[in-house]
Structure 1
Amino acid sequence: MKIPELSKLFRSRADPTNSMWQSAYTFFFGSTTSGKTVNERTALQTTAVYACVRILAETLASLPLHVYRHTENGKEKAKDSQVYRLLHDEPNPEMTSFVFRETLMSHLLLWGNAYSQIIRDGRGKLVALYPLLPDKMEVDRTATGEIFYEYQSDKGKVVLRKEEVLHILGLGFDGVKGQSPIAMAKNAIGMAIATEEYGAKFFSNGANPGGVLEHPGVVKDPKRVRDSWNAVYQGSSNAHRVAVLEEGMKFTPIGIPPEQAQFIATRKFQINEIARIFRIPPHMIGDLEKSSFSNIEQQSLEFVKYTLDPWVVRWEMALQKSLLTLSEKEEYFIKFNVDGLLRGDYKSRMEGYSVGRQNGWLSANDIRELENLNRIPEELGGDLYLINGNMTKLEDAGAFAKKNGGEEE
């Protein structure tokens, strides 16, 4: 298959559509065992899903993102690079770096894929990055096996070469396209939607279960009796109203009370189930039942190490692969800085800095940069590395005494 000739640079970003239509995940989406339809949009209406997506998207978007240049002594920020400016400040005239990364990360968490069109000028210089909606993107191969992207815009289909698309993949089966976490966990999310809807309807009915109106005789128009009863007594606004029954009529409530159906326990379990899908510590989405002052800090560190770090690596590798040319990859690399999330409290940081300073692997300016303070001028010793005078090499032990007291006989 030959890729059609590309039209002018595409920049339109149409409104999202329901992924149930023209979606690669149609097989996975749809009705669940709970009877609720689950897709990206309905799933996001669940508070636990919304909280998990928001936490990961905002956290990754808030991380410092820099382009570095390899140097003889290690690395330095390549602030003169166009890639640096786009990733650190404004990837396009419409978005800040934070909004751009937050948008792509939310796409990645809901659809399992994040796409952005790479705009370059005639000399191949990077000009801008524009997000593309995952539910309108298809990934395919030519007859020779080359990957290309087909995007359904408001003006028709646009075909893009792989060099023109930044594609960040989630967990998948073929390394070409990620799978939607929402589709894979639709039953768990569907149950959360069902219990939430049950609770809403329960309170909309005045927090009382349904019942049966019993009449000793024959009711000629049962629909009229039922409708007149509901009009007066149904709904939370009509709770605690006094019912007046005529002609020997009785009201018998039926249904399973929420506490007997373990309604509350089910809702709490589904919150943890959704947190498990996204690997979010429960305390970060408001479940503090098993958290305490002694373990929350450790859970937060584990969040960075086991949850956020794999996403960071996915981003870094995808950005380097798509945005840097072959020659640039030898000189530059792209890196997120997660050190700020791993920092302990003030006392712990100061104790750590003290150890590094006294053992000679941190200077005063190293510490001040970590604390976002201004550097001490070099002539005042800001870049000096010091060690305690009582530390020496084993082979030099006793050398000072020999020098001052003469050679041993």
Structure 2
Amino acid sequence: MKWLSKLNPLRRKSAEAMTSRDLLEMIAAGAVAVSGVQVNSESALRHAPFFAGLKVLAEDAGKLPIKLYKERPDRGRDVAKDHKVHRLISRRPNDFMTASEFWEMCVAHVVLRGNFYAFKVMLGSEVEELLPLNPGSVKPKLRDDWSLWYDVTFANGKRDVLPASQIFHVRGLSLDGVRGLSALEYARETLGLGIAAERHGAKLFVNGANPGGALETEQTLTDEVFERVKTSWNEKHTGLENSHKVAILEGGLKWASVTMTNTDAQWLENRKHTDSQICGLLRVPPHKIAILDRSTNNNIEHQSLDYVNDGLMPHLNRIENRIRISLLNERDEEDHFAKFNVAALLRGDMKARSQFYKDMVFIGAYSPNDVLELEDRNPREGGDIYLTPSNMNINGRPANEN
């Protein structure tokens, strides 16, 4: 698709140059929480529980196969292998990304910023390529005539105002139907508290895993002596490598702790509480980010199934619906649809799965080859037979013979 580079918006003249104020608004995506911590994309992703939860959602979406289907006139569906949109969403959305990488980025942007944007490179009425955009550089605007336009600042600094027909936009939960809610904005205090607690623990080890304090004396120290004592103490007793060293105090100096300990502050309990809040925010069960305090072999399976249905599926449904209305023309939109295959994530243990397959074959819903296909195995000869139990016959004969 090298020839498509001429359609790239970066090669066109921009409608309006980006000013220094616009650049500042774009890169300063963050604000200071009550805890005193600035919460932005970088600081949020450096917070381990939040990054772990976001990574779980993004990677689970990226590893699922997605296909474009066409509905049959009567019943059933077929994979629309010859459709260009099928190639875009399942294999190659652009020249530098795989489909897995593209959908990983999509879910990561929706979780972190509430919106995922991609520029649609069009050839006539068909989409040829999807180029992801920085969420902080796109501003959707609803005009008085209810048409949606996007103010886009590209990576080279050029700026343009584009109609909705040129932007592939997956939005998260929205209050206005235009822009999705950002975790950085609406969960800032929870993230700020978690980041502050994490930094507090790091500072503790910088000081040799000991709380801060003061050197006291009844004498009056000259400026020269004060500076010498301060410098000597910091050099010999600050840092993890200096922990547990014996302190030698002179001139009547005494050590007095002036800060509360981690036990008094219930630091660990606060961290656990914040981690649980982040799991609730992302709708990711704690065991997915290695918090196993209340997890057992019995409940992890059910938590995983709940996670697929309640945590991951909303993101997948948003993507599927947006593909249908944004990448397909009006004619194909009627009988084509995109679908992620989540069957692998919904599988239970081997015993429960084998019993399910047995029941479905017994009632005639599945054939042996259907089971083999669900297990990613090749079909066998004669395996397309659908059974009808004898107790379901009418007058001793199958229903279609009566």
TM normalised by structure 1 equals 0.88
Partner Cα separation in structure 1 for residue 157 and residue 7 of structure 2: 12
Q: Where do residues 347-358 of structure 1 align in structure 2 (5 Å cutoff)?
A: 347-358=351-362
Structure 1 93/20 Cα, relative in aligned 2: closer, same or farther at 3 Å? closer
Deviations 1:244-287 (A, max 9, x none): 12222222222111111101111111111111111110111111
Partner Cα separation in structure 2 for residue 312 and residue 11 of structure 1: 30
Deviations 1:321-371 (A, max 9, x none): 100000011231111111111111222211111111111111111111001
Report the 3-state secondary structure (helix = DSSP H, G, I; strand = E; otherwise coil) of the residue aligned with 1:60. Answer: helix
Partner Cα separation in structure 2 for residue 206 and residue 261 of structure 1: 18
- Cα displacement (A) at 1:142: 4.0
Match of 2:46 in 1: 45
Partner Cα separation in structure 2 for residue 353 and residue 212 of structure 1: 70
- Cα displacement (A) at 1:98: 0.4
Partner Cα separation in structure 1 for residue 127 and residue 34 of structure 2: 48
| Gap runs ≥5 in structure 1 | 1-6, 13-18, 401-409
Match of 2:68 in 1: 67
Match of 1:9 in 2: 8
Match of 2:132 in 1: 131
- Cα displacement (A) at 1:145: 3.0
The one-letter amino acid paired with 1:207 is: A
Residue 189 of structure 2 is aligned to residue 187 of structure 1: yes
Partner Cα separation in structure 1 for residue 209 and residue 28 of structure 2: 38
**Identity value in percent:** 35
Match of 1:289 in 2: 293
Structure 1 383/169 Cα, relative in aligned 2: closer, same or farther at 3 Å? same
- Cα displacement (A) at 1:44: 0.9
Q: Where do residues 270-289 of structure 1 align in structure 2 (5 Å cutoff)?
A: 270-289=274-293
Report the 3-state secondary structure (helix = DSSP H, G, I; strand = E; otherwise coil) of the residue aligned with 2:262. Answer: coil
Match of 2:25 in 1: 22
Partner Cα separation in structure 2 for residue 277 and residue 283 of structure 1: 15
Of 333, 336, 355 in structure 2, the residue corresponding to residue 332 of structure 1 is 336
Match of 1:305 in 2: 309
The one-letter amino acid paired with 2:152 is: Y
More helix per residue: 1 or 2? 2
Q: Where do residues 352-367 of structure 1 align in structure 2 (5 Å cutoff)?
A: 352-367=356-371
| Gap runs ≥5 in structure 2 | 1-5, 12-21
Deviations 1:214-264 (A, max 9, x none): 224211122332222111111111111121122222222221111111011
Match of 1:149 in 2: 150
Partner Cα separation in structure 1 for residue 239 and residue 383 of structure 2: 71
Match of 1:112 in 2: 114
Does 71-80 or 381-390 show the bigger shift? 381-390
- Cα displacement (A) at 1:390: 3.8
Report the 3-state secondary structure (helix = DSSP H, G, I; strand = E; otherwise coil) of the residue aligned with 2:227. Answer: helix
The one-letter amino acid paired with 2:120 is: I
Of 318, 321, 325 in structure 2, the residue corresponding to residue 317 of structure 1 is 321
Deviations 1:274-327 (A, max 9, x none): 111111101111111111011000000000111111111111111111000000
Report the 3-state secondary structure (helix = DSSP H, G, I; strand = E; otherwise coil) of the residue aligned with 1:200. Answer: helix
Contact 1:20 1:39 in 2 (8 A): no
The aligned length equals 380
Q: Where do residues 391-406 of structure 1 align in structure 2 (5 Å cutoff)?
A: 391-393=392-394, 396=395
Report the 3-state secondary structure (helix = DSSP H, G, I; strand = E; otherwise coil) of the residue aligned with 2:245. Answer: coil
Report the 3-state secondary structure (helix = DSSP H, G, I; strand = E; otherwise coil) of the residue aligned with 1:294. Answer: helix
Of 202, 205, 211 in structure 2, the residue corresponding to residue 203 of structure 1 is 205
Contact 1:20 1:30 in 2 (8 A): no
Match of 1:167 in 2: 169
Match of 1:375 in 2: 379
Q: Where do residues 222-261 of structure 1 align in structure 2 (5 Å cutoff)?
A: 222-261=226-265
